[in-house]
Amino acid sequence: MKDKLMIIDPHIHMTSRTTDDYEAMAAAGIVAIIEPSFWLGQPRTQVGSFQDYYSSLVGWEPFRASQFGIKHYCTIGLNSKEANNEALAEQVIELLPLYFHKENVVAIGEIGYDDQTPAEDKYFRMQLDLARELNMTVQVHTPHRDKKAGTIKSMEVCLEHGLDPSNVIIDHNNEETVKEVLDRGFIAAFTIYPKTKMGNERMVEVVRKYGSTNIIVDSSADWGVSDPLAVPKTASLMLNKGISREDVIKTCYQNALDAFGKNGKMKEEHWLGNKGIDQRELFNDNSVLRGQEPKIEGDKIV
């Protein structure tokens, strides 16, 4: 790209990715990311596992990202798959309020439906009530199976619980769902997976057809086959295919910042110009990189 764009990836699970990914992402123009809470590929069995996971999303992972010049935010919530273990879900719901006010938490998420079971419905609604009470943005995961019905139901339940649709991001849209989402005044996010769901080419056509208002591009890269550079690659492709620069900036940067910046935790100043002295000191200090040399492990006294 000629003038390098700044990119935000508002849905990426960095806990599962490597430092090589961080380096490539920073080189591709990604300045900030949002990491939603999700499941880890197999169900957790203890509330303590959730606590340590959330703690890493507000502790270690933002630090790790900072070492590569990327600002890290997260969303905290009980995901739909693990809402089906009700005894555990009860305990997790009790734990959540301790995390919502942490300094890098921008929304409650990713919450919603997977198999659209009664238990999923119950905990989705509970978390929507918390969002209303605490005036927080919500990031909704829409189901892979029975997507269209699940997406519509997610939105109806959000409205039923008194949420403002402009403060709810509906994620993993496709051509079948996008119109319903935009018509109802929600924010529509698209996940660009290599060779599945939404590919980059299809995303270009969506923007051509629906414009750039309330549309957000993300990668949802995680522990599966996925691409942490999906957003910058899509931005490039859009420009090459004649989408206006303004529309590219909106869908790959500004809309995400506006949508997730509502609670004041995510600010452009975090990555523009000078960072706080601590951040830069950490970044140049490389303490994490030295700490990662295997020989240092052996040097610990304890």
Positions that interact with other proteins (CB under 8 A): 51, 54-55, 58-60, 62-63, 95, 97-104, 278, 281-282, 285, 287-288, 290-291, 296, 299, 301-302
Comparing CB distances to other proteins, the nearer of 20 and 278 is 278
Which among 36, 253, 14, 265 is positioned nearest to 140, based on CA atoms? 36
Nearer to other proteins, 183 or 299 (CB): 299
The CB-of-302 to other proteins minimum distance in angstroms stands at 6
Place of tokens 């295919």: 241
Q: How far is the CB of 123 from other proteins (least distance, A)?
A: 19
Closest approach, Cβ 157 to other proteins, in A, equals 25
> Cβ closer to other proteins: 62 or 150?
62
Smallest distance from the beta carbon of 66 to other proteins, in angstroms? 9
Cis peptide preceding 268, ω within 30 of 0: no
* CB of residue 52 to other proteins, shortest distance in Å: 9
In the complex with other proteins, the residue whose CB is nearer, 59 or 211, is: 59
Least separation, in Å, of the C-beta of 119 and other proteins? 24
Shortest distance in whole angstroms from residue 190 CB to other proteins:
30
Let me know: does 169 contact 186? Beta carbons within 8 Å.
Answer: yes
Select 94 or 205, whichever has its Cβ closest to other proteins: 94
Are residues 30 and 7 in contact, defined by beta-carbon separation less than 8 angstroms?
Answer: yes
> Which residue's CB is nearer to other proteins, number 6 or number 47?
47
Closer CB to other proteins, 102 or 202, in the complex? 102
